[in-house]
Chains A and B, each alone.
Chain A
């Protein structure tokens, strides 16, 4: 079970009204390398890995949920006061006609989230290598998102999230070393 703390992991500020950034951020929300995929992937792997990795997967999965909440806050702030016309201009017309301004788990191109994004092979070596790759892909996605964004406040939060992916990758690399040594 979890205890919920009613604050964000790291502050989210948005300084410009730019709904197009919300469209791009959806990649990190419901995309293949997004936070939902990461949280679900690790939470699901916990049951079948060697004992020494369970708490690591729980910790990282929990933090990914906190990241998901930050991304949701960014998207919400960027779209909550946008007019339908502004959303259309930003490429979110298709989103608006289906969901209004409600958040939905899609990637930046509007493709709905699918469990097929979550890799679990059941082999701990294969899964840890895959987790490392997932973290590096998330890091790269944050980089390209920062490249696209000219909002300094948003970028501050995005840089924080990118660094966290690096730390997670570090921990999975250490987990791989533990697996190589045996229990």
Chain B
């Protein structure tokens, strides 16, 4: 399972006018890793949950904005 976000540390100059953003994140959705979708991939247990997620398959779901729980998550 790959992480949904990756982080990096932009260069911070002592002369930057705004307070620095020390960590930046970017989204890495599952479609980057999955290749052909395997047959028989498990689906959400009910239709309303699938509709709210925007996909039938939890393995293709990508959260946004970054949930706080993945703060500091390392690349897997």
Where the two chains meet, the residues of A that have a C-beta atom closer than 8 Å to any C-beta of B are 10, 139-140, 142-143, 146-147, 159-164, 166-167, 169-170, 173-174, 177
Q: Which of B27, B34, B51 contacts A170 (CB 8 A)?
A: B34
Contact between A166 and B36, CB atoms less than 8 A apart? no
Q: Report the Cα distance A139→B54, complex, angstroms.
A: 13
| A177-B27 in contact (CB<8A) | no
A-B contact pairs, 20 of them (CB 8 A): A10-B54, A142-B64, A143-B27, A147-B65, A160-B51, A162-B54, A162-B64, A163-B55, A164-B54, A164-B55, A166-B29, A166-B31, A166-B54, A166-B55, A169-B29, A170-B30, A170-B34, A170-B60, A173-B31, A174-B35
Is B64 in contact with A146, judged by CB distance below 8 angstroms? yes
Given contacts A10-B54, A146-B65, A174-B36, 14 further A-B contacts (CB under 8 A): A10-B51, A139-B27, A142-B64, A163-B55, A164-B54, A166-B62, A167-B54, A167-B60, A169-B29, A169-B31, A170-B31, A170-B37, A174-B35, A174-B37
- In the complex, chain A residues whose CB is within 8 Å of the CB of B34: 170
- 10 closest A-B pairs (Cβ-Cβ)? A163-B54, A170-B31, A160-B54, A166-B29, A169-B31, A166-B62, A166-B31, A164-B54, A174-B36, A167-B55
| Contact partners of A174 in chain B: CB under 8 A | 35-37
Secondary structure type dominating chain A contacts: helix
Q: Report the bound CA distance from A147 to B66 in whole Å.
A: 11
Chain A residues whose CB sits within 8 angstroms of the CB of B37 once the complex forms:
170, 174
Chain A positions within 8 Å of B62 at CB level: 162-163, 166
Least CB distance, B11 to chain A, in whole angstroms: 22
Enumerate chain B interface residues (CB-CB to A < 8 A): 27, 29-31, 34-37, 51-55, 60-62, 64-65
Given contacts A166-B30, A167-B55, A170-B31, contact A159 B36 (CB under 8 A): no
Interface centre among A142, A161, A173 (most CB of B within 10 A): A173
In the assembly, what is the distance between CA of A174 and CA of B27, in Å? 20
Chain B: CB-nearest residue to A142? B64
The complex places the Cα of A174 from the Cα of B65 at a distance, in Å, of 26
Question: When the two chains form their complex, are residues A163 and B53 in contact, meaning their CB atoms are under 8 A apart?
Answer: yes
